[in-house]
Structure 1
């Protein structure tokens, strides 16, 4: 899942004005072609049947597991069916984390080893978290309203205790609250461990009020054995907070995940361009968390970008045209466990001239804004993309500081230009990393709007010759 930027730098007004008014020779033809691709995809794309097939017949795709391998097999077949060529499966190693038994229960006053209250807590273990003994652990809980409060805790003050971080996420169209609160899940358990905690509970990074905990990855400090860590559903986090307001509380926690050596892989396929060696990369991540169906995160992104490529392929066949630059669709493995596939891909392809990269990884709701991070010479192209996407209700942005999806960040760091078709995230964190990540949550019309936007933007970028790389 993409992490929205916390803030964006603004371009000088004169530079933007020039970008949105200057059109190079031949642009009208390219814009007309992009509009044809856009409208055809909007009328009926292949994204819905692709997404339904993937999530029904493969389902969840936890990184490094047989389920993810089935997803790779599906990806190869789907790329072939879409007319892509030069299909590759590129393996890489990773520690494979799998969920075990998990439960939590308030057992009464701090220090009490028995006398359960019957108040079960809905939890989900965090990826790469450690394990309790099979019988679990029981320990007093220490409350922290946010990450800053945990940072301020004295060294050793959590010895033998469970840290509970009760941060709150706010609903936002751009999902910016996830960016500001993500450290709680990623770094909170390691920070609590450094102060002596035997386990960590966090309020889920979510905006719903169902008893569905939101899982996600965490990162242990180097050279340490991670402590058990889990996310509480929002209602259960608030229950625990109320109990702690009334007095000391202990929790019995059982969480028995396992980590073993293993591997994953990236899958890619291409629409060859007329000019060798210039590549536009689009895609989504293939893996998902295990507690849902892997639909909005990120089966939708896979279906959107592959359907966009198919729309371009079909247009090229009908019109007898070929993009100037190669279009490469990449499905990255092991994103959820720490962007492992994205980094492996960037390392393996650092010698290639990837001029532009973008990832769809923010659900299936409509694209509402386009942003970029490209060379100054490429800003007129971004302006053209904005013009062609305007009929879809997509707004231009006023900056050139986009981060793109998480898996293209490493490509951007190597100098690839970035395109970001930002999706409406208003309800995304109701479903993100939960059992509610299911196909019925997808609106087909909004899904097709995404395909139309990606198809038009990708065609324009691939049929252009202006420099886009930032270094």
Structure 2
């Protein structure tokens, strides 16, 4: 017996007899329809065409830029062209950050330019100083106050490659917490080895933060080969560096979450949420991050919407192209706030925001009474080479805020072995996407969304109790 079938048998046992009267399950007709959707998705190229359209016609979509507005217009038109029953927008306001120019230069006898990019949220300015190297964030955070006065802090951490992207956590903390630690030690500038796994001369950008009460300093990241070059120079002797950034915050901006719906057959007010984020960083064309997620979920919803009315799922499929994920989950937070009183009507949610590699695992944390239905979804996903992991929760960045309020969520884990070779770099372009892997993603999301929306029963979404003392 296949592993998924064994797990399903266990799930059925867990769902009864104690929970038999209200166990969530999926009917045979829905399972048959899901199988047909899966095969149709594997043969279709809708997902690819959507990604191609967004990355070509709009290109890079830095939140708050002119292209951000064009992306919103594009998403509205694309949802309508794909036959969605309802298309609407939700305003999302945030501070606007702009990048204009940047350079990093080694001074003195080994004078040379290094390939670097400003971190999102960095202020502009030109600073010169001696480099002080730290092997990791903990070492920098331990630096005594004043010990870096007039100097530039450099964190030289090498991110590890992993299929699940687990090396990114430590690397991204260096990007978000490192500048504040440098300021506390007295540094006038901050630079880091990029949070990436490639050896191209493409620096990886990404948002950084400055703790309240600290005066921000110019902060940038080096491409990995340039970080190696700087480290070699430091092995020879002291190095002085000039960081010159022209960037910074420039007022407030209001973008939009763009939302398309395929209306449910009998429970239209209950929704399954899937989506990706519409914005990107400004160096590539935002193909894997996250035009792929937008294309995958738009195509999945379109496929479900193309079914005869009688075969549509009971609940509504809601696809969201979230605004400004990159600079702080602004779209996800706005959506969660707007739906805080409507958690029970959210059946379950999932987000595609990890590129376009093949999905290899499916996971969700649900009550025992819903595990039978989860196992049935897993069985429909198994022909796609997707393993059911019963010990994982799954979720996604922009659905995280509403999940924290009590919405059930699932994770469809993509192979991210090479994701951080391109993430937040000029190399994030359409050619990095395998059309067949993208189609497998569309098939998985179509199956997941359809079966979740047609399940007889729920997956445990409910408002979480308020924290004590609040």
TM-score, scaled relative to structure 2: 0.91
d(CA) in 2 for partners of 1:191 and 1:340?
A: 25
Measure, in 2, the Cα distance between the counterparts of 1:354 and 1:463: 13
Cα displacement string for residues 126-160 of structure 1 (whole angstroms, at most 9, x for unaligned residues): 1111111xxx2211111000111111111121111
Q: What's the secondary structure of 2:170's corresponding residue?
A: helix
State the partner residue of 1:211.
201
Instruction: Give the Å deviation of 1:19.
Output: 4.9
Structure 1 position 76 matched with structure 2 position 68: no
Please tell me whether residue 418 in structure 1 is matched to residue 409 in structure 2: yes
Match of 1:437 among 421, 428, 446: 428
Distance 2:12 2:149 in 1: 58
* Shift, 1:418, TM fit: 0.6
Please give the per-residue CA displacement for 1:283-313, whole angstroms capped at 9, x wherever unaligned: 0000000000010000000000000001111
Query: Could you tell me how far 1:381 is from its partner in structure 2?
Result: 2.0
Q: 1:123 to 1:19 in 2, by over 3 A?
A: farther
1:316 Cα deviation (Å)? 3.6
Q: 1:104 to 1:20 in 2, by over 3 A?
A: farther
1:326 and 1:363 map into 2 onto residues whose CA distance is: 26
1:20–1:175 CA distance, 2 compared to 1 (3 A): farther
After TM superposition, give the deviation of residue 20 of structure 1 in Å: 8.6
Deviation at 1:25, TM superposition (A): 6.7
Match of 2:117 among 124, 147, 165: 124
Q: Give the match for residue 166 of structure 2.
A: 176
Q: Measure, in 1, the Cα distance between the counterparts of 2:255 and 2:204.
A: 23
Partner of 1:344 in structure 2?
Answer: 334
Secondary structure of the corresponding residue to residue 269 of structure 2: coil
Q: What is the deviation of 1:377?
A: 2.4
Q: 1:372 to 1:16 in 2, by over 3 A?
A: farther
> Which of 141, 144, 161 is the equivalent residue of 2:134?
144
Instruction: Find the residue that maps to 1:205 and give its secondary structure.
Output: coil
Q: How does 1:122-271 map to 2 (within 5 A)?
A: 122-132=115-125, 136-260=126-250, 261-271=252-262
**2:62 aligns to what?**
62
- The structural deviation recorded for 1:465 is 3.0
Cα distance change of structure 1 residues 20 and 394 upon mapping to structure 2, 3 Å threshold:
farther
Partner-residue secondary structure (3-state), 1:99:
strand
Q: Deviations over 1:30-78 (max 9, x none)?
A: 2111111111011113011111111111000000111011011010011
Could you give the per-residue CA deviations for residues 413-436 of structure 1, whole angstroms, max 9, x where no partner exists? 010001111100000000000000
Once the two structures are superposed, the pairs formed by residues 443-458 of structure 1 within 5 Å of their partners are 443-458=434-449
1:407 and 2:407 aligned: no
Check whether the contact 2:14–2:368 (CA below 8 A) recurs between aligned residues.
Answer: no
Q: 1:190 to 1:74 in 2, by over 3 A?
A: same
In structure 2, stretches of 5+ residues that fail to align are 1-5, 16-22, 463-470
- In structure 2, how many angstroms separate the alpha carbons of the residues matched to 1:468 and 1:225? 46
Distance in 2 of aligned mates of 1:26 and 1:185: 44
Deviations 1:89-113 (A, max 9, x none): 11121111011210001113xxxxx
- Tell me, what secondary structure is at the counterpart of 1:100? strand
TM superposition shift of 1:457: 0.7
CA contact (8 A) 1:374 1:400 kept: no
| Deviation of 1:374 (Å) | 2.6
In 1, Cα distance between equivalents of 2:347 and 2:189: 45
In structure 1, C-alpha distance between the alignment counterparts of 2:237 and 2:368, rounded to whole Å: 59
CA distance in 1, matches of 2:7, 2:446: 29
SS in 1 for 2:409: strand
Q: Report the equivalent of 1:383.
A: 375
Whole-angstrom CA distance in 2 between matches of 1:168 and 1:125 = 19
Shift of 1:279: 1.1
1:273-352 equivalent positions in 2, closer than 5 A? 273=264, 274-317=266-309, 320-352=310-342
Cα gap change, 1:199 to 1:469, in 2 (>3 Å)? farther
**Separation of aligned partners in 2, 1:160 and 1:374:** 53
**What secondary structure, in the 3-state scheme, does the structure 1 residue paired with 2:412 have?**
strand
The worse-fitting range, judged by mean Cα deviation, of 21-30 and 44-53 is 21-30
The corresponding residue for 2:37 is 37
1: distance between equivalents of 2:312 and 2:457? 17
Structure 1 CA distance, aligned partners of 2:145 and 2:460?
Answer: 46
Give the counterpart of 2:389 among 385, 397, 402: 397
SS at match of 2:403: helix
Conserved in 1, the CA contact under 8 Å of 2:8 and 2:375?
A: no
Query: In 2, are the aligned partners of 1:357 and 1:411 still within 8 Å (CA)?
Result: no
Q: How many residues align?
A: 446
Kindly report the root-mean-square deviation, in angstroms, between the aligned alpha carbons of the 2 structures. 1.8
Does the CA contact (< 8 Å) of 1:37 and 1:456 recur in 2? Answer: yes
| CA displacement at 1:21 relative to structure 2 | 8.9
TM-fit CA distance, 1:223: 3.5
1:409-461 residue CA offsets vs partner (Å, 9 max, x unmatched): 00110100011111000000000000000111111000000000000111000
* Aligned equivalents of 1:371, 1:25: Cα separation in 2: 17
Summarize the alignment of residues 87-126 of structure 1 with structure 2, pairs less than 5 Å apart.
87-108=87-108, 117-126=110-119
